Amino acid sequence: MIKIGLIKALGFSLLAFIGLNFLFIIIAETINGSLPILFSDISSDPLTIITILFAPLIYLPGNIIMSIYSQISFGTIDASLIRFVGFLVSPFVAALVAGRTGESKGGSFGGWMIAALISSAAWGVLAFFYPNPNPIMLLIGFMLNGLVYGIFYGCFALLFSKSEMY
């Protein structure tokens, strides 16, 4: 029997992850001045919405941190910095939401882990719809990224869980 805490953590964390990704992409595209281009891309190719909603899973967390550091170091504060901050903040907040809504540590961690794997599987769908030389390898790579995100941010879900350690 699946515990209700796992389902709540999964649902709320996936909702927070998708919502914050969409919000940060919209803010970055508005600053960049290319919001009409984004919406025309979505209307011409509806699968583009997957790249918007699940964008952080392309980059590993360490790469995102290094990109933010290099952009701030070189003084290039623009829309891509907002996008990368969103790539770092949205999974963190989603993991915190999973930690607070899961009724146990296992439910919190498992809810966020399943949300990360669902997000990476959404990227794997794109590997089969667009012409790629080896879509299976892309699917494996996306699933590994989802596993890394699940473990890395799952630690924060464990830290902010309602249940105590003892």
Share of the chain above pLDDT 70, in %: 97
How far, in Å, CA of 85 to CA of 74, rounded? 16
121: its two tokens: 């599987």
Average pLDDT for residues 88-108, to the nearest whole number? 91
- Give me the count of residues in the chain: 166
How far, in Å, CA of 127 to CA of 66, rounded? 27
pLDDT tens by residue, 33-66: 999 999 999 899 888 898 889 988 888 999 999 9
Supply the DSSP string of 94-128, one letter for each residue.
HHHHHHHH-SSHHHHHHHHHHHHHHHHHHHHHHHH
